[in-house]
Structure 1
Amino acid sequence: MSSKEYPFRKVSEIRKFLESKASAPLKKWGQNFLIDPNAIKIILGGLNSDLLPSIDRILEIGPGLGAISHGLLLFEKPVTLFEIDPVYANWLREYLPEFELREGDALQFLPEYAQESVYLFGNLPYYISSELTLSAVRNLKKLKGATFLVQKEFAKRISSEPSSIQFYLSAFGTWKLKKNIKAGAFYPRPNVDSSILEYRAAPVLENESGFIALECLCRMAFWGKRKKLASSLRDAPVSSLPFEVQNATDFSEENFRMECFASLEKSKINTDKRPEELKPKNFHEAAGYLSSSVSKLIKDT
């Protein structure tokens, strides 16, 4: 199957279409249309021939006018598009009737695809990039990989800068900043540059309890800006912990803090250090030790 001719390669064509629909790009949904064919090619290349046979379905968040979507025909796999704007949803139904179209918030739909082996594409709105990325790795249990177009600073945080979200997401797999994309590659032109962020699933923790334990450690350790680990783990409020932990029937704040300190000690982590001075693998190892305590709290088997 070949890709369909894409009719919006020029800004004038996009403007003409929007005028015909009495519509315009909406800032509240972070709508910036990709018009750079080279960037589109790189994004589609994220799903390579080695990975393709293991994929049952392709998902795309925020397809807009279909700049990436039309190229998904080449993979000859079932495709589901998540589009929140009814104007673009209606266009995509006409333009790509071969695809499943879910109109609404992608955050609501992702859990429905938990048991399918999927690859995810997305031109993620800047204001919700973190939430969508976290939702994808948590809810799509068989997510094999993803290629996202995100704000450049967000891509750097995920791929290389020590932060709570980088330490957490790296436990699910590898994140690589593939290429930076100038603001001029979009219409309307955003205020910042973007990056293509590529993900490959390679989980380092054995079960759900391990990932919840890691989330606990990340939230507590990074709670106080530039604080030492000992201070943060001692002073971080219980409200910073995941809901299922802080509301567990047998949860004891004192005991849980002691377990967190013990997990760091077993991992030979110096609590006089700041979290930014450590590596993701340090936190992953500590989460492995803490996971048994978390498992008992949430009754995870």
Structure 2
Amino acid sequence: MHFFTPKAIQNLCQQYGLKPSRDYGQNYLLSLEPIEAMLKAAEIKKTDTIVEIGPGFGALTCGLADEAGKVIAFEIEKKIEKYWQEKTKEYPNVEIVWGNVLRMFCHFERGLKADEKSPSDAIDDNGDPPHSFGMTVGEPYKVVANIPYQITSPLIKLFLEDIKNKPELMVLMVQKEVAERICAKPGDMSVLAIAVQYFATPEIIIHVPRHFFYPIPEVDSAVIKITLKKFDKNQEENTKQFFKLVKTGFSSRRKILVKNLLPLVGGGSGLKKLQEIWEKLGYSRTIRAQELSVTDWIKLAQELAQSYPHTKKDEDVV
């Protein structure tokens, strides 16, 4: 496992002509403590395939390679390509995939080969179709990464919603405030918390202060573990309808939930029906969206589906 000092990072950046970029979220880990916590939380076996996003100079990557059978690491900063050409000789079970993971993973799951025409949203940042990489469609894997914080929401959406072959679990370094939002309890819920907790069980593993990174970011961080739930076919079919309800419920956080949901039930004419459902579920008439748990929302969705079975299913999930 590699441990970097600020001076070592500075020297590597200078050697490869790299100036740490906020656009790419390039803040390099200097402490072994969060790396060890991530490796332990991921419960890695020698047979595991690990997907990493943003390996940088490999502080986490090398630890993953020591424990896993295979590491597929997506990196967008091609200035360090020569660095990884040498480093992968030392770690032959590491494959660096150069490009945008948000585009390339969707391309991969569609089963397109490198020389096939790809849809416009599956083109890498240089305008070229991304090459294939060392995984098979449907292969079990885990995601373990110190991710660029600006892609936190789309990355979680990618692995929880957009692709069919979801990971067994994810262990991610994210902004502390985002980790707390994801793991929120009733009273502080949000669409993000509902979305993650609907698909998975999240937990905060360790808080990571900002001085554990170089350059020092403006925010503190946290490691979260997201363990995915198994869904049956019926649950998958109802997912879009469920999140249409949730997004409508959160459309105005200051309003009570009944008022936010009136547009879904025909306006004022549906108020009586909502009040009947509220009484059946034991909800206070003044309850707000952020006060309901995922289980509460599921029960509410089931009641509304029985009363209004023909509502359109036209919303994205996260």
TM-score past 0.5 threshold: yes
- TM-score, normalising length: structure 2: 0.75
Q: 1:28 to 1:142 in 2, by over 3 A?
A: closer
Q: 2:240 aligns with which of 212, 229, 232?
A: 212
Q: 1:76 to 1:150 in 2, by over 3 A?
A: closer
Which residues of 2 match residues 1-301 of structure 1 at below 5 A? 6=2, 9-48=4-43, 52=45, 56-96=48-88, 97-111=92-106, 112=108, 115-138=138-161, 139=163, 141-160=165-184, 161-203=188-230, 206-235=234-263, 254=266, 269-270=283-284, 272-288=286-302, 293=309, 297=313
Tell me the distance in 2 between the aligned counterparts of 1:263 and 1:99: 58
Q: 1:182 to 1:273 in 2, by over 3 A?
A: same
In the alignment, is the contact (CA less than 8 A) between 1:110 and 1:140 conserved in 2? Answer: no
Q: How many Å apart are 1:190 and its aligned residue? A: 0.6
User: For residue 144 of structure 1, what is the amino acid of its counterpart?
Assistant: E
- TM-score, normalising length: structure 1: 0.79
Tell me the distance in 1 between the aligned counterparts of 2:83 and 2:148: 20
SS of 1:109's equivalent? helix
Tell me the distance in 2 between the aligned counterparts of 1:18 and 1:216: 46
> After the TM superposition, which parts of structure 1 deviate over 6 Å for at least 4 consecutive aligned residues?
none
Comparing 73-82 and 92-101, the one that deviates more: 92-101
In the alignment, is the contact (CA less than 8 A) between 1:145 and 1:200 conserved in 2? Answer: yes
CA deviations on 1:121-152 (whole Å, 9 max, x unpaired) are: 12122222111112111125331111100000
SS of 1:148's equivalent? strand
SS of 1:29's equivalent? coil
The CA RMSD measured in Å over matched residues stands at 3.0
CA deviations on 1:173-216 (whole Å, 9 max, x unpaired) are: 21001110010100000111100111112246643223212221
In the alignment, is the contact (CA less than 8 A) between 2:251 and 2:260 conserved in 1? Answer: yes
SS of 1:65's equivalent? coil
Tell me the distance in 1 between the aligned counterparts of 2:13 and 2:244: 46
Q: 1:213 to 1:290 in 2, by over 3 A?
A: farther
Identity across matched positions, percent? 25
Aligned length: 272
Tell me the distance in 2 between the aligned counterparts of 1:224 and 1:84: 38
Q: 1:66 to 1:261 in 2, by over 3 A?
A: farther
